[in-house]
Structure 1
Amino acid sequence: MASKQQKYAKLEAHSGYTGLWKTDLSNACIASPGFCCTSIFCSWCVSYHLRKRALHNDMTRYLCCNGDWPCSGRCGEQSCPEFCLCTEVFFCFPQSVASTRWMLQDEMRLQNTECDNCIIGTMFAAQYLACLCWIAACISGNDILNDLAILADNIADILWCS
């Protein structure tokens, strides 16, 4: 796990990135409709494939959530990286997508557009709202909160897959 100073230095370095994504997030589905449809129906498979591709098929480089969480590197990734990546994309899907994007962004020194930042922020907010709704529904046992949690979770999933 990186120190706070290292993380702040990494964030500061992002502001100096000058490259642009070939396709921004708002046009990704239009640019590759087949890939977009595949990601809707098998998002975990696509996330797994993209991370493996980002690692240049070298799974010895794999680190859970790309080292973004305190538990990263402590989950036995080196002994069975393929299984750990499968587990990551299934149980921590939003984080796996974000980690892969950030990995590519750092490697290629790419900056986000303002629209990209808005889309990413909305996806994170929807995922956190869904999580809070599920917690509230579990604690209260309220059917309305449970329905709200299901709705928020579906909206968050649609945002992540789009």
Structure 2
Amino acid sequence: MSRYTCCAGYMPCSGKCGESKCPELCLCTEVFCCFGNSVASTRFLLQDEFNIQTTQCDNCIIGFMFCLQQLACIFSIVACLVRNDELSDASEALNCLADMVYCTVCACMQTQHKVEMDKRDGNLGSQPMTVPHAQQMSRFDQPLPPHVAYGPPASGGYPPGSPPPPAQGYPPTAYPSHGYPTPSY
């Protein structure tokens, strides 16, 4: 937090919000009042820090989000000027769709942020993340194919008090024997 600057220094107000005196309050205010700027500036910061290029897919998704928001804004203005109830309803539906796409894109960006910071901190382990193996679905009245193994192994599962093996690509985590895993952040 000693290095924190509002919106990572990418906004005109950055450095002028009292971040040095109370960075936690400034960060909380930034996230609640300027969520979009917070996500975007974190993305820019990580791209600059790790020399990451925006992919064509990222550009397409972000461009679609912006176009949908602009279209929703235009529909709202036209609905206000024309005062047509059907157009107003369509405008509200388009605004709702634009908000859902925006929230989805922000969630994807934040997941990318988390993965990059985990890589930086060495929390992803030595194995790269890969696509999981294909699984087959079966009905209850069908016998299981011999190559599909559901349920615990023949030995009765994991020993009492031991955690399951870590997910592929993630390091093992120390689990307390009485409940939930201890957070690593």
TM-score using structure 1 length: 0.49
- Look at both structures and tell me which one has the larger radius of gyration over its CA atoms: 2
Whichever structure has more helix as a proportion of its residues is 1
Higher relative contact order (CA 8 A, sep 6+): 1
TM-score using structure 2 length: 0.44
